[in-house]
Amino acid sequence: MERRYTLLHVFTKQPDGGNPLAVMSEVDGLDDAAMQAIAHRIGLSETVFVFPPKNPAHLASIRIFTPASELPFAGHPTVGTAICLTQERIWRDKGTEFDALAVLECKGGILRVAVRPGSGTAFAEFDAPTLPYESGEAAPSDRLAAALGLAPSEIGFENFRPRRFTAGNAFTFVPVAGLTAMGRAHVVPAFWDQAFGGDSHPAAYLYCRETLQHKAGFHARAFVPGMGVPEDPATGSAAAAFAGIINLFDGPPEGVYRTVIEQGIEMGRPSEIFLEFEVKGRAIRGVRIGGYAMIVGQETVAV
């Protein structure tokens, strides 16, 4: 038996860029084990399964799976699924495209996603369901460096130091000296768990101030081998937590802070994540993640 899914490229306006996403609405009869097996077979960083919402005022309820496990929340599935379902269930029914609000239910909370049409792509932006907060101590820099194939002197820049933060999914945020070191970074399995352990899915998010695009404020890479994702081209949940890193080390003034994060370039899948957060009394009051996505087509997977 085969089941259809929609393939999207998320956090990009280019056909060969962004983070690929599978969105499956043919979910009748699928239990947890079946969904996990399908996600593993498709092999993308995330596969979304779409169910009827518990609240009829919402667009859908979604389950998010990596090739190895389920996630309560993730950024690129939120952006991609909102755009996919808005096109299929709102714009197609109305016969025209217009600014819309897609409300999705997930295990991490209620996701309110603003969707804006475009030429060949659409733009979606959502409020992070959880504000970023620190989630334990990072390992010493020499241990992190060993797990990433870098020298200890290449960990850190300016006043930025490694920290662990989460906004639904925990990451160790590792500041790296510059693009040269970022390009050499890779997973060293023998040292990985010692450096990035602390939860069920050790994950690393590397970043530096040096960028390739003038409009980008940070360059990033994400490694999540424990979830079957050796490297992720664009990581929205990490970007949401990264707001906490920026607030901690850069100390932006009160008001709204906006930046663009470039990611996926080393993988040949350039991606752009738009990050916005509000600061009041030195604390973050809200985080929004945005990006473009395009529907590539329909595919099938054997079940």
The Cα 94–Cα 33 span in angstroms is 36
Question: Which of 2, 46, 154, 272 is labelled catalytic?
Answer: 46
Q: List the one residue out of 69, 55, 265 whose CA is nearest residue 179.
A: 265
The reply to whether 46 belongs to the active site is yes
Please name the residues in contact with 1: beta carbons below 8 A apart, sequence gap of 6 or more: 302, 303
Residue type at 259 in one-letter notation: T
The structure tokens listed for 31 are 């239990």
Cα gap 5→213, rounded to integer Å: 33
Q: How many residues does the chain have?
A: 303
Residues marked active site are found at 46
